[in-house]
């Protein structure tokens, strides 16, 4: 997270509740937010929702935790992982690195290039995908192979696909805001088109959705909205 965004969010917290929701696990989100500890991350925001809100914090208090393995079962999970690894082994990319399947507490992250890629390799994949629809084709293959598994396959971030039970998308986090009687919820995300992992919460009637293209665009829209 750029320092300019961090400073702006601190200022924004003086006017309203500020929450963060991401598909990544808590450790990865902390890294992206440049937080030096768990408490440093949770104290930055009024709410932190990792893994779409399946791991939820109000301030530094953990208020929710789901378990993918118990919900889906190992038989389905193993079939999914075997198919995904086989599919990704046949994709030709500019490069491949490590960690193609990341098992999180409440979802599985599939990454054709491998999550251990460098930022430069990540950027190269983004350019390659603009012409080749790598993840879009992968998602179609997953839905074709597992039509009745009760799973959602959503394109997330720059390089990966999130897999989780139907209904465990980012709208899952809204229940915690409802319990706290939060009436007006503005959501800002970049993957808001159908098939993206921001789409469901962007379209949800409980939110006012905003599509953003970059950190600076997010700040510009918030500045106009709040000030």
CATH (domain of 111): 3.30.1240.20
Provide the domain limits for residue 22. Answer: 3-66+168-226
Question: pLDDT truncated to tens, each residue of the chain (227 aa)?
Answer: 888 999 999 999 999 999 999 988 999 899 989 998 889 999 999 999 999 999 999 999 999 999 999 999 999 999 999 999 999 999 999 999 999 999 998 899 999 999 999 999 999 999 999 999 999 999 999 999 999 999 999 998 899 999 999 999 999 999 999 999 999 999 999 999 998 899 999 999 999 999 999 999 999 999 999 98
One domain for residues 177 and 206: yes
* Total structural domains within the chain: 2
Q: Where are the beta strands (DSSP E) in the chain?
A: 19-21, 47-50, 55-58, 61-65, 101-103, 108-110, 151-156, 160-165, 186-189, 208-211
Question: Shortest CA distance to 190 belongs to which of 173, 178, 202, 206?
Answer: 202
Residues 151, 110, 119: CA angle, nearest 5 degrees? 145
Q: How far apart are CA 40 and CA 204, in angstroms?
A: 30
């Amino acid at each position: 997270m750029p320092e300019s965004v961090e400073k702006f969010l601190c200022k924004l917290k003086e006017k309203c509740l500020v929450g963060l929701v991401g598909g990544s696990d808590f450790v990865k989100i902390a890294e992206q937010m440049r937080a030096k500890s768990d408490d440093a991350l949770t104290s930055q925001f009024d709410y932190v929702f990792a893994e779409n809100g399946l791991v939820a914090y109000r301030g530094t208090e953990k208020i929710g935790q789901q378990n993918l393995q118990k919900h889906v079962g190992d038989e389905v999970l193993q079939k999914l992982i075997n198919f995904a690894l086989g599919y990704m082994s046949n994709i030709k990319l500019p490069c491949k690195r490590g960690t193609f399947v990341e098992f999180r507490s409440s979802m599985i992250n599939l990454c054709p290039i491998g999550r251990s890629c460098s930022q430069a390799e990540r950027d190269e994949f983004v350019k390659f995908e603009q012409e080749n629809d790598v993840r879009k084709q992968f998602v179609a293959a997953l839905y074709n192979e597992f039509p009745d598994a009760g799973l959602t396959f959503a394109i997330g971030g720059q390089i990966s696909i999130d897999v989780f039970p139907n209904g465990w998308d980012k709208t899952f986090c809204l229940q915690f805001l409802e319990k706290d009687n939060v009436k007006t919820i503005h959501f800002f995300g970049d993957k808001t088109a159908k098939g993206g992992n921001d789409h469901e919460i962007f379209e949800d009637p409980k939110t006012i959705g905003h599509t953003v293209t970059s950190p600076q665009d997010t700040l510009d829209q918030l500045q106009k909205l709040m000030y």
